[in-house]
A = this chain, B = another copy of it.
Amino acid sequence: MPRPRKERLRLRRVAIDTYRENVAYLHRDCAIYRAEGFQALSKIEISNRSHRILAVLNVVDDVSLVGPGELGLSEQAFDQFGQPPGAAVEVAHAEPPASMEAVRRKMAGQRLAKEDFAAIAQDIADHRYSKTEMAAFLVATGQTGLDRDEILHLTRAMFATGERLAWDEPLVADKHCIGGIPGNRTSMLVVPIVAAHGMLIPKTSSRAITSPAGTADTMEVLARVELDPATMHRIVRRHRGCLAWGGTAHLAPVDDILISVERPLGIDSQGQMVASILSKKLAAGSTHLLIDIPVGSSAKVRRMGDALALRKLFEFVGDRLGLHLEVVITDGRQPVGRGIGPVLEARDVMQVLENDPAAPEDLRQKALHLAGRIIEFDPDVRGGSGFSIARDILESGRALARMNELIEAQGRRPDPPRPGRLHFEVHAPRAGVVTAIDNYRLARIARMAGAPMGPGAGVDLLRKMGDAVEVGTPLYRVHAEVRAEFEFARRLCEQDDGYRIGDSAVTEEGFLTEF
């Protein structure tokens, strides 16, 4: 229940960007601030007759920023409130969101109902949760905190609070990899192949957050990826696909909000991952979805048994949400392809599309495998024949042609960036066979070298698992655009280059037998 409101303040925009956290600024001598007993960092509600917003309070001691009769809002909060400067607003203590009661029950180990998840998602979508309240929700529902029915409820609730893209077609295909494998840029091959087959595949991707390149970063080396909804629809109608950045559409906004808290905390529970992926895909209007779960000792999923359990969870939730969903478990023991970083990965992709003999064979095979499975979603395609259809599309040059259409339609980049001009090679310290390549370490080296902010920065792998090496054989080349990053990546490689060289080709024994 809000406290009584007494006075009005004049609205003012404060030119400070506080990202996903709304911040309000009150002068310390503001009568309302004094009367209400607000405290800096407390949550307040700002309203007028028609609009309402919640914000965290910062107290100001400089009248040039806000005066005692004014209420300042940070840029995003001001936009969200949507009222002009000078508008009269009221301020009150914000009560904690009602659904926090359910979060407290979850903290106490109780099972939550469908309605609880709906209320939580709605409160988060309405920006009623503070970052700490979201962290409490995420920790309480993390790890083994949710059973599979609860994950279903959460997915549905996250999907229901956002918009949904409408494609008005019975089959809208999509693919998603749970991540963790550098160089794994299969979407840029799967989309042109599947679109060339005639299936609708409007792919939206993210930018890298913790990895050296996301699909959006890599596609951006070649073309514009920030498409407004109308442009995206036009391209998809005409070319049966696109490779766009997903950040412009407001799909499953609760997912974006939660991720902004989840990532810095390093929370990565299976239940939340499933809810995040499936709510986003449903919101994107997908009807048929292929999920890629790479397994390997330095992948996100380390054991086959865990991958199978995760597959069943995806299937359970997907089925109940009316999504045709299939899961493939793939080899995640080392990076895919050669390049790691936007420019180098784009080069790999184009080599595969151009049927260049130098193209990395593992990336080509994996993309054909995934595209083939998606093509088999087509009711007219016989089970088992997807791979050869995909291969025909690729080898005939139709995939390349479709990719060039998409690039032109999205807007070809006139000055594509090139590999970073500073580079060094890392050499084998002994003779033998490459027995392991640490995904995590190579991703870290590529990031330290400047990827993805520096698109030409990254790592180019010259040897992969199973390759024989002599002392001094180059294992990989690191590219950087900036001297300091070059030096820093070099130091990182000296500490641990991420490669293991052994005496024989028997690598990660007992694991190989599972593929």
**B-binding residues in A (CB < 8 A):** 1, 3-6, 14-21, 23, 25, 28, 35-37, 39-43, 58-62, 64-65, 74-75, 96, 100, 104, 107-109, 130-136, 138-140, 142-144, 260-261, 264-267, 448, 453, 482, 484-485, 487-488, 492
Bound Cα distance from A144 to B42, whole angstroms: 28
B265 near A143: Cβ-Cβ < 8 Å: no
B3 near A448: Cβ-Cβ < 8 Å: yes
Q: How far is the CB of A23 from chain B (nearest CB, A)?
A: 8
Choose among A134, A265, A448 the residue with the greatest number of B CB atoms under 10 Å from its CB. A265
Residues of B within 8 Å of A64, CB to CB, are: 64
Bound Cα distance from A487 to B109, whole angstroms: 40
Give the residue of B18, B130, B131, B482 whose beta carbon is less than 8 angstroms from that of A58. Answer: B18
The residue on B at minimum CB distance from A41 is: B19
Give the residue of B4, B41, B484 whose beta carbon is less than 8 angstroms from that of A20. Answer: B41
Bound Cα distance from A406 to B19, whole angstroms: 50
A260 near B41: Cβ-Cβ < 8 Å: yes
- With A96-B266, A264-B43, A265-B133 known as contacts, the answer to whether A16 contacts B143 (CB < 8 A) is no
Residues of B within 8 Å of A17, CB to CB, are: 28, 40, 58-61
11 residue pairs of the A-B complex, CB under 8 angstroms, read A14-B62, A16-B58, A18-B40, A19-B40, A20-B41, A96-B264, A96-B266, A104-B266, A107-B142, A136-B139, A136-B265
The residue on B at minimum CB distance from A269 is: B107
Report copies per complex. Answer: 2
The residue on B at minimum CB distance from A28 is: B17
A131 near B133: Cβ-Cβ < 8 Å: no
Q: How far is the CB of A208 from chain B (nearest CB, A)?
A: 10
- With A18-B41, A18-B58, A107-B142 known as contacts, the answer to whether A266 contacts B4 (CB < 8 A) is no
Bound Cα distance from A96 to B210, whole angstroms: 13
Residues of B within 8 Å of A59, CB to CB, are: 16-17, 19
Choose among A3, A15, A16 the residue with the greatest number of B CB atoms under 10 Å from its CB. A16
A108 near B143: Cβ-Cβ < 8 Å: yes
Closest 5 CB pairs of A and B: A4-B484, A19-B40, A15-B62, A135-B135, A17-B59
The residue on B at minimum CB distance from A140 is: B139
Bound Cα distance from A59 to B140, whole angstroms: 31
- With A17-B61, A143-B107 known as contacts, the answer to whether A485 contacts B266 (CB < 8 A) is no
Bound Cα distance from A104 to B484, whole angstroms: 32
B65 near A15: Cβ-Cβ < 8 Å: yes
B135 near A139: Cβ-Cβ < 8 Å: yes
Bound Cα distance from A37 to B452, whole angstroms: 9
A267 near B107: Cβ-Cβ < 8 Å: yes
Bound Cα distance from A358 to B135, whole angstroms: 51
The residue on B at minimum CB distance from A133 is: B265
B58 near A109: Cβ-Cβ < 8 Å: no
The residue on B at minimum CB distance from A489 is: B4
Residues of B within 8 Å of A136, CB to CB, are: 135, 138-139, 265, 267
- With A132-B135, A136-B265, A261-B132 known as contacts, the answer to whether A61 contacts B41 (CB < 8 A) is no
Q: How far is the CB of A128 from chain B (nearest CB, A)?
A: 13
Residues of B within 8 Å of A23, CB to CB, are: 58
Give the residue of B21, B42, B139 whose beta carbon is less than 8 angstroms from that of A139. Answer: B139
Known contacts A17-B60, A42-B264, A132-B134; 7 additional CB pairs below 8 A are: A4-B487, A21-B41, A43-B264, A100-B266, A109-B144, A132-B261, A133-B265
Q: How far is the CB of A284 from chain B (nearest CB, A)?
A: 24
Bound Cα distance from A396 to B204, whole angstroms: 82
Residues of B within 8 Å of A58, CB to CB, are: 16-18, 23, 74
The residue on B at minimum CB distance from A66 is: B16
